[in-house]
Amino acid sequence: MRKPGSGYEPTDALRAVSGWRWVVALVALSLIAVLAEVNPDAPPMLALQNPTRLRFAFINGDNDLPTSWTCAPIRVVLDQSIATAGIEADVRAAIRDVETVSAFTFDVIGSVDHQPNEQWATESSAFGADVIYAVSSPERSELVEGEELAAANLHIVFEEPRSRFVAGAVVFNADRLEELTPGMGPMSVGAVATHETLHILGLDHVKDSRSIMTADINDGSAMIGPGDVNGLAVLDQAACDSRESTGFD
């Protein structure tokens, strides 16, 4: 059932960076979210201001309190493989696009020489970063698999009153990078970078042709859609309300 070149799915997956236990948990939660999405009798996932049902789903947590980051800017480093592959401008543009449509802010610190693997969650603080973007291959990193164009990996800390993300890694598959076109649009570096960045912020796949979060890039608009924007607003609220209520920063 795997069709090479068919897009994000199964070329794209969500995993935590610190152990396969989280992998199983995330996959299971992801499936639950997707199943809920396709049930035509299910009520809207949240009461939205917009009368149109705007679809979104979260990686983890319930719809009222999804797992998110803290309210602080998310610190990003780019492995030098991003520049070497000639995709740095598109990755940076994708991050800026996400900032434009959400209250999340990213602090792109700069370039590092570091191929991320499952240890990233414990290494990130040494780089003063939360999230790393890299081009790698299944041979060099367990964070991307052969069928994937790219993968977003999140490390979750489970604590009360809610879980939060503490580290993330976006890894483009070097073996499939040539399938992506520069800039934005279907099967583009920009669209994949945007899609993975929204995973990093906590959005999961949806079946909505206006969303960039479709599992298969060919099923969606390859542009940030209204459901994506609404989902990001909920995630931002979770991030910032959490800081106020718990004191962590």
106 contributes a contact to Zn ion by CB under 5 A: no
- CB closer to Zn ion out of 12 and 88: 12
Smallest gap from residue 220 Cβ to Zn ion (A): 10
Quick one: tokens of 170?
């976006």
Minimum distance between the CB of residue 188 and Zn ion, rounded to whole angstroms?
A: 15
Q: In this chain, which stretch among 5-13, 20-28, 178-186, 229-237 interacts with Zn ion, using CB under 5 A?
A: 5-13
**Closest distance to Zn ion from the beta carbon of 161 (Å):** 28
- Considering beta carbons, is residue 114 or 195 the nearer one to Zn ion? 195
172 sits near Zn ion (criterion: CB under 5 A) = no
What is the dihedral sign for C-alpha 98, 99, 104, 110?
Answer: positive
Q: Which stretch binds Zn ion (CB under 5 A): 11-19, 24-32, 42-50, 57-65?
A: 11-19
| Cα dist from 181 to 149, 189, 190, whole Å | 12, 6, 8
Span 12-71, contacts to Zn ion by CB under 5 A: 12
Return the range that interacts with Zn ion (CB under 5 A); candidates 1-9, 86-94, 97-105, 109-117. 1-9
- CA dist 60 and 159 (Å) reads 13
Q: Among all residues, whose Cβ is closest to Zn ion?
A: 12
Binding of Zn ion by 97 (CB under 5 A) = no
Please identify, using beta-carbon distances, which residue of 71 and 192 lies nearer to Zn ion.
192
CB 56 within 8 A of CB 234: yes
228 binds Zn ion (CB under 5 A): no
Between 151 and 234, name the residue whose CB sits nearer to Zn ion: 151
| Site residues for Zn ion per CB under 5 A | 8, 12
